[in-house]
Amino acid sequence: MARRRRRLAKGPPTRLTIDLQRLWTLFGERYNRGMAQTPYADQRVSSGQVFGYIKDEGSTLTELAQHAGISKQSMGELVDRLESAGYVERIANPRDRRAKLIRTTDKGERQIEASRRVTRAIEARWAGVLGKRRLHSFRAMLRRLAAVIADDRSW
């Protein structure tokens, strides 16, 4: 006779994190597939953790890591990879001799343009499913929630 396994967790499952993770995974798959059709096929969705936050005049590794919400070590590995591929460069920081600024190269700027085209194509498909207004609202809700959580350290 088979014994029924006892469930330790009680109550309904919380799906929000699972749904967000699944959406991010699917977006990443589509993004990577789209970038594979460009001259920047070596770039993956993870590069957005640098390109999504880098300032025109350059950003420090610490700034990039804080904005992306990852460790300085992880950001350093991303920047090293992008630098060795010619997408970013490290330059002297005029405000702090100990720190370097990371800024995009011309190749990095062209990659960002290609990335934006791929992302816009994905968003257009999503708008076809949800409608432009609903997609706009969805993006606004995500931004609002992220801003509130980022600003409120009690979470």
Cα(36)–Cα(128) distance, rounded to whole angstroms?
Answer: 23
pLDDT score for 76: 97
49-100: per-residue pLDDT in tens? 999 999 999 999 999 999 998 999 999 999 999 999 999 999 999 988 888 9
126-155: per-residue pLDDT in tens? 999 999 999 999 999 999 998 898 888 776
What CATH number does the domain located at 16-151 have?
Answer: 1.10.10.10
Percent of the chain scoring above 70 in pLDDT:
95
For the full predicted model, state whether its pTM sits above 0.75.
yes
- b/e 132-154 (16+ beta carbons within 10 angstroms → b): eeebeeeeeeeeeeeeeeeeeee
